[in-house]
Structure 1
Amino acid sequence: MQQVIIVIHLIVVLGLVGVILLQRSEGGALGGLSGGGGVSGFLTGRGQANALTRATAVLAAIFFTTSLVLAILAGVNRAPKSILDTAAPSAGAPAAPAAPASGGVLDQLRQLENQGQGGTPAPKQP
């Protein structure tokens, strides 16, 4: 279902881009590419502008509709998650962080360094 709506959405997007590029702009961009055979007045002047404006409005409405439907379909299958519902930490990880020592961060780092060197105290610097 979702893939079909995505394909329709992409076709509408391409059509919308094409219709917008065919419209006459102030600079005349690609508006002159529609041909000059004005037999019935449909492709000339106001008739062309009205048809392209109407086509743009219809394609824009379809674009917004398919966008909303895709957003709704994406949200239906998503289960709500919470960080509090996550699994407990593994056995190798500590359950809670160690309580900080009263000496400060630098003293803690020195203690950790001493533990890594076999427990000998590090010389204090002047």
Structure 2
Amino acid sequence: MYEVLLVVYLLVALALIGLVMIQQGKGADMGASFGAGASNTVFGAGGSGNFLTRATAIAATLFFVLSLVLGNMTAHQAKPDDKWQNLEKPAAEQQKQEQPSSEKPDVPTN
């Protein structure tokens, strides 16, 4: 389940990048309003703005929702073989060994 969501997350991220790159900037609207470039558009003179804006909003919403879901799944995932946890165990055991015991060791006296 986690791997499938991760693949979908990456695809949505790439789609979001592509949608943002396709859109025209605010400065390009002035030339399009006088008829320049209107014949070269796929969606017509005014149709691309609405479609691209809505598609970008949907992709951004999916991206944020998947980010939250994946983050939640990762936070609750247990990793028993984590290398940092393994490094802490010997240090804790070493501290236990360094503490002096109140009992005197049995040492034979001559």
State the TM-score, normalizing by the size of structure 2. Answer: 0.60
* Distance (Å, rounded) in 2 between the aligned partners of 1:24 and 1:77: 42
Which of 71, 90, 93 is the equivalent residue of 1:89?
Answer: 93
Aligned-pair RMSD on alpha carbons?
Answer: 2.8
Is the radius of gyration larger for structure 1 or structure 2? 1
Structure 1 residues 68-91: Cα deviation after superposition (integer angstroms, max 9, x where no partner): 110111112248xxxxxx754327
Counterpart residue number, 1:67: 67
Higher helix fraction (1 or 2): 2
Q: Which runs of 5+ in 1 are unaligned?
A: 29-34, 80-85, 97-126
Counterpart residue number, 1:50: 50
For the pair 1:77 / 2:81, whether they are aligned, the reply is: no
Q: Which amino acid aligns with 1:5?
A: L
SS in 2 for 1:54: helix
State the TM-score, normalizing by the size of structure 1. Answer: 0.53
Check whether the contact 1:19–1:55 (CA below 8 A) recurs between aligned residues: yes
What is the 5 A alignment of 1:1-126?
A: 1-26=1-26, 28=28, 36=40, 43-78=43-78, 88-90=92-94, 94-95=98-99
Q: 1:71 to 1:92 in 2, by over 3 A?
A: closer
Number of residue pairs matched by the alignment: 80
Structure 1 residues 33-56: Cα deviation after superposition (integer angstroms, max 9, x where no partner): xx8255xxxx13321010000000
Identity within the alignment, %: 32
SS in 2 for 1:89: helix
